[in-house]
Structure 1
Amino acid sequence: MHSDGQKAPLALKLAAGAGILFLHLPILLIFVYAFTTEEKSYQWPPPGFTTRWLGVAWDRPDVWSALGLSLKVASIATLIALVLGTLAAAAVSRSRFFGREAVSLLVILPIALPGIVTGIALRSAFNLAEIPFSFWTIVLGHATFCVVVVYNNAVARMRRTSGSLIEASYDLGADGFQTFRYVILPNIGTALLAGGMLAFALSFDEVIVTTFTAGQQQTLPIWMLEELVRPRQRPVTNVVAMVVVLVTLLPILAAYWLTRDGDTVAGSGK
């Protein structure tokens, strides 16, 4: 058995380095091409570098419109997910009833299904109910998988919280709201914050489900996809992609930092 302080073999270090390059080298290329002087094609090495595309992207009203829509959708979908995911986690972790495991499976199922299946299902449901595609259909579509992320974090933390604390709170005369505020919430607060951050990041860059539920509206990922299909200024797309990487990276890092002390806290991505 290897001790914790033993150095890793050189081959293992090289394999780990190769894996990291495989994962992150394409992302680094986005940052490089965001500053290239070439407007209509990708060349390697780039013919030169410039910062003018940052100003061009800043002055594009379609970029701001798509960014604003993505931020609003992600914010509301995250709020819905926090409420529903927390309630579902509380029911599953603190109650015993027939079909509890089936309920847990059904809650997690949307994130296990391929995005295109979820998108087709939602589009069919909206068409059957004669609901016009709008801002709210995008929000509902994103909430389906955001709930799962919050639920995973909340249910894992609730299962680690001693039930005797809740019983003691009731014995001391606290009602349900007081028990939640002063006992449960402090114990699951970081898990909810981490789940909310991950849910926001997933919603912000969702493409497939949005394609089936957005109608004529453009979130930022949809805007980027259309710009790649019919490019006008390729470096602008890379500038926006760079911003998306930074926007989604920060909440994911924060969620990792908040849950780093619990190896059973779920933080599953989509």
Structure 2
Amino acid sequence: MLTIYTHSTNPTHKEFWKSIIQKVVRRYSGPHAVRDSLLRGLKENQIEYELNPTKSNDDTVLVLSGIEALKNAIRAKKRGEIKKLIAGPNITITPNDSNNVMYEDAIDTILVPSQWVADFWKREAAELSEKIFVWAAGVAIKNPSSRAGTPVIYDKMRSKELLTIADKVVKSTGKTPTVFTYGTYSHSEYLRALSDAPYLIYLAQSESQGLSLQEAWAHNVPTFVNKSTKWTHKDYTFEATQINTPYLTDELGGIFSNAHELASLVADAKTFNPKHYCDKHLSDDASIKTLLPLL
């Protein structure tokens, strides 16, 4: 059986109470989506697990998120209470955060959500390279969009210039887009919009994975993403070809650099059918099958 932690179970830590507050206000974020995908995948494959127990009773512990949860697991590993400790992918942004906790010898495997993140971590912490593995969370199988509704613009970049370009391109087709601004909408609202969206225009500077994109593909909604190749965080920078859509392929959509390229993608939206690829490669089941060899 596998033990999974997403936060500290100690009421003396802020991390514990933060998790309680998130439940009360029903805030749904990327780490929640990663957790839910993992749990669905384990259930689909009839793999037993326990989630956030006060004390682990299993040989293998996976800490998905939570610095304090990881520190507690490290202490348990050093006491000989667990045999294998896996950390990630939602614990630290860089390997040097939180007093270098990711360098602890007690950690056997470090999970990161995409190849560009793995490359960045290996550049910053070459000594951890052999521990680092790419594992992408999946999404649930969904009914395909009717494509009879309004196009969706997902604005994570908050660039007025880009948003104006996207808005004008959509309106030039005679439709008014539904705009979702990152951090200001509910997850259920987003899924409802995808249920009949013909396509999604995604505006972002960077994405470690892009689960919101995967949810669109699961609904057979193609995504058109602005070209971005550079990630910045504090004093760190890193460049990659598709740094804001690491899992995009030709089957799933396209990348645009200007209004003309976006208009061309929109005109061809009906030719994209991303659901088959997503269900095969980016679903909960595909995700858990990638993880199992690492457990």
TM-score under structure 1 length normalisation: 0.26
| Higher fraction of helix | 1
TM-score under structure 2 length normalisation: 0.24
| Higher fraction of strand | 2
- Higher Cα radius of gyration: 1
